[in-house]
Every structure is written in structure tokens, then in C-alpha cells.
Structure 1
């Protein structure tokens, strides 16, 4: 690895503002703001809009898309299966 080309890899706190949740991990992300962590040390803090604590997929609040219902509604509205005319078989 070449010296002085790579960013510093250090402990950083990521704070999810929506969920009020923060976690300490290692990253190359840089911030001017700092936070005092539970261990008494001061770390850079990065505010994020969404994390696994507030993302609908991880919290179980995700909506599933009913694609089969959409196809059936399309066929009812426009009649029959789409693409059945002119299928190229002679």
C-alpha cells in the first residue's frame, strides 16, 4: 500500500436523526463535528438520514408491491392478455 495516498481509517460515530440511534464503527468518513461517546472518548460524528434502525425494510414496515394484482387490473381494464395479438405465429 502506498503511503500518504489513502484516507485515515478511524473510529467514527454515525447518528440516525430519524430514529435517535447512534453507533460507533470504523470509517474513512470525515466530519468537523464531534461527540463524546459512552466510553468517555471523543469521536467525529456523521449525521445520516436513514440507517437500519429507521429503514422500512429492516423495521418490518416495508410495503410489498402487489404486481399480480396490477397485471390483473390492467387485463380487466384493457381486455385480455397484453401482447396476445400479433404474436408472430403463422
Structure 2
């Protein structure tokens, strides 16, 4: 990486308002809103629409495909 062309990364907090969940990370964002952390430092805060707390992955809505039936129907000429 070339030195001097990348933005500085600082501690930041991302907050999921839907789940009342916040997690600290590092970011190049420079927000006007700040939040005081537990260790006494002040960091910019960014609000997120969804996080792992409000929309966990996987959702558990997997679909099983009937591939054997499709192959058999194709062999009989039912599927084009």
C-alpha cells in the first residue's frame, strides 16, 4: 500500500437502534455525533439499520429443492 494516501482510521461506534445494540470498531468516518465509551473516550457514532443483533444470519428459512423430481420430469419430456 502506498503511504500517505489512505484515510486515518480511528475508534468508532456503530449502533443498531432497532436492537439497542452498539459495537466498537475502527472507521475512517468523521461523524458530528459522538458517544462516550465505557473507558471514558469519546468516539464518533454511526447508526446502522441492521446488525447481527437485529437480523441474525442465517435466518433459518432454507428451501429444499427437489432435483431428483425435476430430472425425472425432464426425462419424460414434461419440462422444457
TM-score normalised per structure 1: 0.64
Q: How does 1:47-86 map to 2 (within 5 A)?
A: 47-57=47-57, 62-68=59-65, 71=66, 81-85=72-76
Structure 1 runs (4+) deviating above 3 angstroms are: none
Higher helix share: 1
CA shift at 1:66, angstroms? 2.4
Q: State which structure, 1 or 2, has the greater radius of gyration over its C-alpha atoms.
A: 1
TM-score normalised per structure 2: 0.71
Structure 2 match to 1:2: 3
- Structure 1 pair 29/81, CA: closer, same or farther in 2 (3 Å)? farther
CA shift at 1:38, angstroms? 1.3
Structure 2 match to 1:31: 31
Unpaired segments of 5 or more residues in structure 1? Answer: none
